[in-house]
Structure formats: structure tokens, C-alpha cells
Structure 1
């Protein structure tokens, strides 16, 4: 019998799984796609932000960082540990996340210009996410960092103008610490 995956929210550096989660975050995302440790620790105090570990059979299996806005969920960072990668953990986690609420979900992906970007987009599409025509520049996570041109994917349907506008005007500045 397959055991259910568990997401466990982390509220501080003293949590038992924090070091494993932080190491996977550093290993899985390039400098321009992640926050520095002090910024991440400060963000843990933000009630809309969820820094979660993924546990499978009580063992660390990955990270899942997401935001819960009014009527919208945004998946910011998501990675499985190398020991479970390719075994369906990521798919099962996203399916469980989808089942938790009927609120739309947004995530960002690189534009489909490389093979790895196309494979990542295909992974999300097989789960039911839709690739939107909205492209934008993600501000740098850190001083001196590079902005990234990204595409938005959404579940269960393409973003309408109102939801896209809400995400860009109300959510985006909180996610990236932009003064408005």
C-alpha cells in the first residue's frame, strides 16, 4: 500500500528539516532563481508564504514553497530530492495540492526555448496545467542578480485578464519584495 505524501510547513531555521530543505533549494535552483538565506528566513514570518518540506514514508523527499493569496495559489519553488526523482513523487504532490482547493494555481516556467524547459512544461501539462501567452520579466531575487524572462502556467484553465492583473499588481510585488 502506497503511503500518502505529507507536506510539513517550516517556520524557522531551527526546524529539523530546514537544513535538508535549504540544501536542496541551493542545489536545485541557480543563484538567479533563489533568495539568499537572510531573505528566506525573513520571509518565513510572512503568513501568506508556505516553506514546506515533502515527506514520503517519514523521510525527506523534497521542497514545496508556495503563496496563498485571496482566491489564488502561486507555486514558487518545487523540487524533489535526487533519491525519489522520477518516481512519481512530484506528480502525486501536485495532484494532492490541486485536490485541496478549487482556487486557481499559477506557477512560472522558463520559456519553451530549450529541451529541459519543454520537458518541464510537458510535465505540468500532463497534470493539467495550461501554458499561458503571458511572458514577463521576473525581477532579481537578490541585489546584483539577473532578471529572468518567464512564462506563466495555470490550473485548471488559462488565466483571464482579471486574474492575471491581480497576480501582477497585488501578488507579484509581495513575492519579489517590490515597492509599489
Structure 2
């Protein structure tokens, strides 16, 4: 079920299509900038293949010093709700075997609450301190998000050096 993305053999367009279904424009880079990340040694993608070896889900993540930062995790819209995402994430966490950090929307909507609960069932901790995601496109501003982490939680001070790495390496933002 878990397979590393191979830019010479796998279709990045399949990943972009799922990404466009799952994320608002303000939470993604342009397709060109997203594709350029494939040459960054810290940026990696894991795939979950469905029937016919088509991409059913993906996890795009950054392998950083001492932890992994999940930038995007999404299941194809047609396949959501069947347990694929939970099984895929469990496999990913076993494979990575190091602390994992991701961003989620604050629990202000039912969809955001469901997403947070989904991650909690997988062992993630909801870190309740203020966090701002730097803009991924020039026309957007910082976005208020929450941090979830697995297996341990972080205080704001414990998270600060990790945030600095994320800002610098993932977003190219000033610390």
C-alpha cells in the first residue's frame, strides 16, 4: 500500500489533481512551484495506490533534522470515508518512525473538528498554541492554523526551534 513517489515513473498530475480537490488555493503552491520541489532532497512523497495502481492518496512531507513535517495529506475524493486514509497514515507513521508534525485548521467548523479527531485517533496530539502558516502564494497572507504532532505533544517553547526550521526550509520565510 505504501510506495515512494518516483518522479521518473509516477504521475505528478495525479497528485496535483487530488491536491486541488482537497485543499484551498491558499494552502498550496502553484503547480509549477509544487513540481519544482521534486528536486529538493528534503521533500518527499509517499503514495497509496488503489486498483489498477492509480494513486488513491498521497502524503507530501519534509524530512527535516529530527522530525518529519507533513505538508499535504489527501485521499482522492471518490475514495474518502472508506478507511484508506487512516490505514495509509498508520503505515506511514510506522515507516517514518520519528516525530511527525502537521498543520490543521483550528476547531472552528465541524469539518475541522472531524479532521482533528481523525488525527487524534491515529495518535496525534493537538498542540494548543498560536501558529501562523506563512503564505504559500504571494497573493495570500499568513493563515492561523493549529499544530498536531505524533507521538508527543509540544509546548510553544519546545516547538519554537521546529517552527523555525519549518519556516526557513519549507516556506522560505523569515523566522
TM over 0.5: yes
> Once superposed, what is the RMSD of the aligned Cα atoms?
1.8
Structure 1 outlier segments of 4+, above 4 Å: 160-163
Alignment gaps of 5+ in structure 2: none
Aligned residues: 174
Indicate the structure with greater helix content.
Answer: 2
Task: Decide which of 33, 49, 52 is 1:55's aligned counterpart.
Answer: 49
Give how far 1:147 is off.
1.9
CA distance, structure 2, for counterparts of residue 141 and residue 10 of structure 1 = 24
CA distance, structure 1, for counterparts of residue 19 and residue 90 of structure 2 = 21
Q: Indicate how the Cα distance of structure 1 residues 133 and 18 shifts in structure 2: closer, same or farther if over 3 A, else same.
A: same
Give how far 1:22 is off.
1.0
Give how far 1:96 is off.
0.8
Q: Indicate how the Cα distance of structure 1 residues 71 and 143 shifts in structure 2: closer, same or farther if over 3 A, else same.
A: same
Query: 1:40 aligned to 2:34?
Result: yes
Aligned to 2:2: 6
Q: How does 1:96-135 map to 2 (within 5 A)?
A: 96-135=91-130
Give how far 1:18 is off.
1.4
Q: 1:29-87, CA deviations, whole angstroms, 9 ceiling, x for partnerless residues?
A: 11101000121122111111113332134232012101111110111101101232111
Q: How does 1:20-169 map to 2 (within 5 A)?
A: 20-57=14-51, 58-160=53-155, 163-169=158-164
Residue 151 of structure 1: SS of its match in structure 2?
A: strand
Residue 103 of structure 1: SS of its match in structure 2?
A: coil
Alignment gaps of 5+ in structure 1: none
Residue 83 of structure 1: SS of its match in structure 2?
A: helix
Q: Indicate how the Cα distance of structure 1 residues 78 and 29 shifts in structure 2: closer, same or farther if over 3 A, else same.
A: same
CA distance, structure 1, for counterparts of residue 119 and residue 72 of structure 2 = 14
CA distance, structure 2, for counterparts of residue 137 and residue 161 of structure 1 = 12
Give how far 1:162 is off.
6.2
Give how far 1:144 is off.
0.9
